[in-house]
């Protein structure tokens, strides 16, 4: 797997990581709470039978409140398991504790065939919560460089929602020469300030 990418992506990735890690904890907590509120209050969330989530680590936007609310509402919640070749398998979880450290130290669900979900066969009402170091105004993202979400989004039929704090947005990855042909945008970007509000 290519964990490098272009020179511009590598520079921006390092800067975005350092920038994210120095955001103060109070700002992150408040922003993450507002982001979660916007998502669970949205019509898209209400209509979604399933949520393809991520298990946040370090200073990523916290998804625990969204996952708990989805589970309580009886929705299917799935988390990714990284496979060779930049691919992810998705497994249904029954609780936030149904994980163990996996690829890159990120908690993953067990490799259990009975919980495996075919993400490409899901209905268009399903949501995917997409992590990133940065999102731009067109919905393009910069991740950790594994290409996992580019490959996933290329075949995902539902609504992909990027979760990012307002201070971590930039105008255009293309203008910074940090876009490649295989980069896939999300359908919506939600910050503490905008995105997916109730009408
Ligand atoms: N919470 C969360 N889960 C996620 C992602 C994510 O961004 N956030 N992913 C989104 O794709 C996938 C995991 N992607 C990953 C990509 C690279 C590395 C990693 O270990 N990168 C090293 C660089 C190589 C190295 O120095 O070892 C690193 O970050 O230090 C980890 C996970 C699936 N699950
Ligand atoms: N659809 C694809 N098909 C084949 N290779 C791909 C595809 N998407 C990405 N790649 C490969 O993955 C590598 C990493 O891509 P990129 O730098 O965009 O990762 P990222 O989006 O930051 O990471 P992640 O999605 O894991 O958070 C690329 O250099 C490319 O070689």
Q: Is 165 exposed, middle or buried (0-12, 13-18, 19+ CB in 10 A)?
A: buried
| Helical packing angle, 64-72 and 25-40, nearest 10° | 30
Look at residue 12 and give its three-state secondary structure: helix
Consult the annotation and say whether 12 binds a ligand: yes
Q: How confident is the model at residue 196 (pLDDT cuts 50, 70, 90)?
A: confident
Q: Which two tokens stand for residue 142?
A: 């910069």
Is 13 a known ligand-binding residue?
yes
Can you tell me the ipTM of this complex?
A: 0.92
Residues 44-55, mean pLDDT to the nearest whole number:
98
Ligand with the closest atom to the CA of 153: 2
Please write the tens of the pLDDT for every residue from 14-41: 999 999 999 999 999 999 999 999 999 9
* pLDDT(137) > 60: yes
Question: What's residue 117's pLDDT?
Answer: 98
Nearest atom, ligand 2, residue 86 CA:
12
pTM of the model: 0.94
Give the model confidence (pLDDT) of 53-65 as tens digits: 999 999 999 999 9
Please work out whether the CB of residue 109 comes within 6 Å of at least one atom of ligand 1. Answer: no
Residue 156 Cα to ligand 2 middle (Å): 15
Q: Which CATH architecture has domain 3-197?
A: 3-Layer(aba) Sandwich (3.40)
pLDDT (0 to 100) of residue 51: 98
123 token code pair: 């209905």
Letter string b/e over residues 30-63, b meaning 16 or more CB atoms within 10 A of that residue's CB: ebbebbbebbbebebbeebebbbbbbbeebbbbb
Domain ranges for the chain:
3-197
For residue 147, pLDDT over 80 is answered with: yes
Task: Decide: 112 and 40 in contact? Cβ < 8 Å.
Answer: no
Q: What is the mean pLDDT of residues 141-155?
A: 95
Ligand number, closest to the Cα atom of 13: 2
The verdict on the CB of residue 183 being under 6 Å from ligand 2 is yes
- Looking at residue 6, what is its pLDDT? 86
Residue 4, pLDDT score: 58
DSSP calls for 27-53? HHHHHHHHHHHHHHTSHHHHH-SEEE-
Q: Is residue 142 a known part of a binding site? A: yes
CB 144 near ligand 1, within 6 Å:
yes
Distance of CA 84 from the midpoint of ligand 1 (Å): 13
Q: Is the confidence at residue 157, as pLDDT, over 80?
A: yes
Q: Could you tell me if the CB of 68 is within 6 A of ligand 1?
A: no
pLDDT the model gives residue 1: 42
């Amino acid at each position: 797997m290519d964990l490098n990418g272009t020179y511009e992506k590598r520079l921006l990735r390092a800067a975005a990581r350092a920038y994210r890690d120095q955001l103060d904890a109070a700002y992150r907590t408040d922003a993450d709470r507002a982001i979660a509120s916007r998502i669970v209050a949205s019509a898209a969330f209400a209509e979604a039978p399933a949520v393809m989530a991520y298990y946040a680590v370090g200073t990523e936007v916290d998804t625990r409140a969204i996952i708990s609310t989805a589970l309580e509402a009886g929705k299917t919640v799935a988390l990714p398991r990284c496979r060779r070749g930049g691919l992810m398998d998705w497994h249904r979880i029954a609780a936030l504790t149904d994980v163990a450290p996996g690829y890159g130290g990120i908690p993953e669900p067990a490799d259990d065939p009975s919980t495996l979900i075919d993400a490409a066969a899901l209905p268009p009402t399903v949501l995917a919560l997409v992590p990133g170091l940065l999102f731009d105004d067109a919905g393009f993202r910069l991740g950790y460089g594994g290409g996992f979400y580019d490959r996933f989004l290329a075949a995902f039929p539902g609504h992909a929602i990027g979760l990012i704090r307002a201070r971590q947005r930039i105008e255009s990855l293309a203008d910074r020469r940090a876009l490649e042909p295989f980069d896939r945008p999300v359908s919506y970007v939600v910050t503490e300030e905008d995105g997916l509000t109730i009408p």
